[in-house]
Chains A and B, each alone.
Chain A
Amino acid sequence: MTLSERVYRVLLKTYPAAYRKAYGEPMALTFRDQVRNAASSSKLALLWMRTLADWPPTAFARHLEKWSGTNAQKSIVVAQHNAAGFFARELTVEDLLFAVLQVDRPLADTLLDEAAVNAIRREIVRLARRKQRKRSALFTVPWSVEFFRVITRATEEAKLAGLPRADTRHFIASILLEEGTVASSLLRHHGVDRARDLGS
């Protein structure tokens, strides 16, 4: 077993036990194949860069599956999908807000009127286009620090409230707390208030 594979097997321990039991060995063998195919040290370094970008969001997403409700999970998938479509460098809080408004229409309708939803979506698309790069090397766009914080906070709040899962409402509440982001400003600008609209 190569040093790379040994290190990768340590990283695999960060995935949930049940997932690791089902997919840990195939993942390690697939990584072994990738290492064998990396013919030079520069290619191996590149492989590690890609692997390290792929690892945190996918490990966290597997943990999140235990805590997130259907709409919340779907929002993260849609956010990834949209960000990949824009060849984004990282997954942002704005991507998450866009996805929540897309996935959970009843929640969007409760919080905002249609004109406000469209205005927010237009602003986020404009922002994404401005940040767009020519191409991306990965399917899983790495999470930004702010995105990670929003998801973690939402998950923790759901746990504190004694709920089995976080849902899109927790995401919106958490986005509002992420001051300094465009997503938080857009929600406030259109009158969404954490205490009044989300009961927290």
Chain B
Amino acid sequence: MSIEPLTPAVFHILLALTRGERHGYGIMQDVEEQTNSQFRMGPGTLYGTLKRMLEAGLVAEAGERSDPERQEERRRYYRLTALGREAAVTEAERLEALLATARNRKLLKHSTPRTA
């Protein structure tokens, strides 16, 4: 799996895991928060993406345990790997550079060109 550029789903999952270990639903909730509920990820997309990210070494399983809010049910947790963190940083920097170019070319409304 190529990790650059990252798909939106992969990048949002990486961002969610920068806050610590999360189970599937925790990741979903974080993504909704990141995007002001504009994007929602179904379980099919979430676990399909997690599978590819596990294979690429971007995330790792962090065991199963009970969610503090739902004591009786065990959930599988995921964590960011060093490679995953590196990929997230690289992608954020790539997007930042792209945005700077777009601003410089006055592509965005209310944008002020910046000097390098």
Q: Which residues of A does B touch, CB under 8 Å? A: 19, 22-23, 26-27, 29-31, 33-34, 50-51, 53-55, 57-59, 61-62, 74, 77, 80-81, 84-85, 135-140
Q: How far is the CA of A173 from the CA of B75 in the complex (A)?
A: 44
> Secondary structure of the A side of the interface?
helix
Interfacial chain B residues near A81, Cβ < 8 Å: 7-8
Q: How far is the CA of A135 from the CA of B36 in the complex (A)?
A: 12
- Given contacts A26-B47, A29-B75, list 10 more A-B pairs with CB under 8 A: A23-B51, A26-B24, A27-B43, A50-B40, A50-B42, A51-B42, A136-B39, A139-B12, A139-B42, A140-B41
For B39, B40, B50, the residue with the greatest tally of chain A CB atoms inside 10 Å of its CB is B40
Given A19, A53, A74, A135, which contacts B38 in the complex, CB threshold below 8 Å? A135
For B8, B23, B43, the residue with the greatest tally of chain A CB atoms inside 10 Å of its CB is B43
Residue of B whose beta carbon sits closest to that of A53: B42
Contact residues on B (Cβ < 8 Å of other chain), bracket:
20 to 34
Interfacial chain B residues near A55, Cβ < 8 Å: 42, 44
Interfacial chain B residues near A51, Cβ < 8 Å: 42-43
Instruction: State the Cβ distance, A106 to closest chain B Cβ, in Å.
Output: 16
Instruction: State the Cβ distance, A76 to closest chain B Cβ, in Å.
Output: 11
Take A19-B51, A139-B8 as given contacts and tell me if A27 and B39 are in contact as well, using a CB distance cutoff of 8 Å: no
CB atoms of B44 and A27 under 8 A apart:
yes
Does B9 sit within 8 A of A, measured CB to CB?
Answer: yes
Interfacial chain B residues near A136, Cβ < 8 Å: 38-39
Residue of B whose beta carbon sits closest to that of A46: B40
For this complex, 28 residue pairs linking A to B, each with C-beta atoms less than 8 Å apart, are: A19-B51, A26-B23, A26-B47, A27-B44, A27-B47, A29-B24, A30-B23, A30-B47, A31-B43, A33-B25, A34-B28, A34-B43, A50-B42, A54-B44, A54-B45, A55-B44, A58-B44, A58-B45, A58-B48, A59-B44, A61-B48, A137-B38, A137-B39, A138-B39, A139-B12, A139-B39, A140-B9, A140-B41
